[in-house]
């Protein structure tokens, strides 16, 4: 049994992401593709797999339904297109899934839903209940209300976050490009597919090029970033051609189709959430000794190493840890508010109780609630 077969044999909880360019065409939604995908996912569910579908296509579908030509749209227009298209998108999915006797549920998310820890856990509980009931959740970004500040940016990022949300075993990205190539095949006819990626380094990132997808906001660059995220969680990812018939069966039969990104180091689910979900509300400037303690020795952050507090935040907020040159070295959850840290910064353990007037723990950020920047796959554009 080769590496691919071993990974697939252990993969029972799946996140399948399908892009706009796969399920839409010149005439709107591709009912043939959606019908085939619905049939495949139903067969997998009937075999005992737990399946979550992340589907793009609402904006593209809305534009086709309204008969609008291709052109740049304002944010408000995109939201209106999403509102129109999402209704048709979920209606089409439900039509086909119902034919095969499979129940589905619609879930629309924004980044805010996953940034707050309580809302994150509520979303997780809902999804886990649906999976327990053998219902296939169909997830999309809630473009109708997602302003720029709370957008995921593309559904590659959303699907990676869903992997962490439900503890999935595998992410499959169904794309209009059938694999990662050593060069962009749209510009280089002699480009060759890369079947396995053991480590995502600068060479692999360079293969992605810079062009977005045909209809969506993503492209190979965003898929590489998503792969960096999920593999850091210890989860493999496969990019495969979404319009190929029986694509999921072909993947699980062991056929070497598409590109498989092998899992890398294992990040805990909580650290994954800290790394990618909450937006930092403030920052702590650390001295050289504190930086070394975090980066080289794997220690918690103590008040003695804090030189400056930036921003106003409450206890439990996500904050950045900066070195004296302003470079971010870590993010973590603070055990104190900014006001409290102002009082105890630079203090040693014996002085903290005196400054705050109560007996408290001495770590500002516990190591279990801290992620080094070098561990985080950047999702910046």
pLDDT string in tens for the chain (381-residue length): 788 888 999 999 999 999 888 998 777 788 999 999 999 999 999 999 999 999 988 888 888 888 888 888 888 888 888 888 898 999 999 999 999 999 999 999 888 888 888 899 999 999 999 999 999 999 998 866 655 543 555 789 899 999 999 999 999 999 988 899 988 777 888 889 999 999 888 888 888 766 555 444 457 888 999 999 999 899 999 999 999 999 999 999 989 899 999 998 778 888 999 988 888 999 999 999 999 999 999 999 999 999 999 999 999 999 999 999 999 999 999 999 999 999 889 887 666 656 665 555 679 999 999 999 988 765 433
pLDDT at 211: 58
Q: What are the residue ranges of helices labelled H in 102-246? A: 111-115, 117-132, 155-166, 202-207, 220-232
- In the chain, how long is the greatest CA-to-CA distance? 71
Shared domain for 309 and 192, answered yes or no, is no
Domain count, the chain: 2
The answer to the question of residue 171 being in a domain is: yes
pTM of this structure: 0.86
Does 184 share its domain with 296?
A: no
The whole-angstrom separation of Cα 54 and Cα 65 is 21
Q: Are residues 19 and 134 in the same domain?
A: yes
Domain boundary among 266, 299, 328: 266
* pLDDT for position 149: 41
Q: Pick from 115, 222, 155: which is nearest to 17 by CA? A: 155
The last residue of one of the domains, among 217, 236, 266, is 266
DSSP for residue 323? -
Does 161 lie in the same domain as 12?
yes
Is 207 within the bounds of a domain? yes
CATH of the domain at 188: 3.40.1160.10
Rounded to whole angstroms, the Cα distance separating 96 from 40 reads 11
Q: Are residues 26 and 117 in the same domain?
A: yes
Q: Is residue 381 part of a domain?
A: no
Residue 169 sits in the same domain as residue 315: no
d(CA 192, CA 185): 8
Backbone angles phi, psi at 79, to 5 degrees: -65, -40
pLDDT of residue 286: 97
Residue 347 sits in a domain whose CATH number is 2.30.130.10
SS (H, E, C) 91-133: HHHHHHHHHCCCCEEEEEECHHHHHCHHHHHHHHHHHHHHHHC
Question: Do 324 and 286 share a structural domain?
Answer: yes
Q: What is the pLDDT of residue 217?
A: 47
- pLDDT at residue 364, as a whole number: 94
- Which residues touch 68 (CB under 8 Å, ≥6 apart)? 81
> What is the predicted pLDDT for the residue at 258?
94
Print the domain residue range for 346: 280-375
């Amino acid at each position: 049994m080769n590496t691919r077969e071993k990974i697939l044999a252990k993969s029972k909880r799946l996140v399948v992401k399908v892009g706009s360019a796969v399920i839409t065409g010149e005439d709107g939604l591709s009912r043939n593709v959606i019908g085939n995908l619905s049939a495949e996912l139903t067969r997998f569910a009937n075999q005992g797999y737990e399946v979550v579908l992340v589907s793009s296509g609402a904006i593209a579908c809305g534009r086709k339904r309204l008969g609008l030509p291709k052109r740049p749209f304002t944010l408000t227009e995109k939201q209106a297109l999403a509102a129109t298209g999402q209704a048709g998108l979920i209606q089409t999915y439900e039509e086909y899934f119902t034919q095969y006797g499979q129940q589905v549920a619609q879930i629309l998310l924004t980044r805010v839903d996953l940034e707050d820890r309580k809302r994150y856990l509520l979303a997780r509980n809902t999804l886990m209940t649906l999976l327990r009931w053998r219902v296939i959740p169909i997830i999309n970004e809630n473009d109708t209300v997602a302003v720029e500040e709370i957008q995921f940016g593309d559904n590659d990022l959303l699907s990676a976050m869903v992997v962490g949300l439900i503890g999935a075993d595998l992410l499959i990205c169904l794309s209009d490009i059938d694999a990662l190539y050593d060069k962009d095949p749209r510009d280089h006819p002699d480009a060759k597919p890369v079947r396995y990626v053991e480590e995502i380094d600068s060479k692999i990132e360079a293969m992605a090029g810079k062009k977005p997808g045909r209809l969506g906001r993503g492209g190979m660059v965003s898929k590489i970033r998503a792969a960096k995220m999920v593999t850091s969680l210890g989860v493999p990812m496969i990019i495969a051609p979404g319009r190929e018939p029986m694509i999921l069966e072909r993947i699980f039969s062991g056929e070497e189709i598409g590109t498989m990104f092998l899992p890398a180091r294992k990040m805990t689910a909580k650290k994954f959430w800290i790394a990618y979900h909450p937006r930092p509300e403030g920052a702590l400037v650390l001295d050289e000794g504190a930086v070394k303690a975090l980066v080289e020795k794997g220690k918690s952050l103590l008040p003695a190493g804090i030189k400056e507090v930036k921003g106003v935040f409450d206890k439990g907020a996500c904050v950045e840890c900066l070195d004296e040159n302003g470079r971010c070295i870590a993010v973590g959850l603070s055990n104190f508010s900014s006001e409290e840290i102002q009082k105890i910064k630079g203090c040693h353990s014996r002085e903290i109780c005196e400054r705050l007037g109560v007996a408290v723990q001495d770590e500002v950020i516990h190591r279990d609630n801290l992620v080094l920047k070098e561990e985080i796959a950047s999702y910046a554009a």
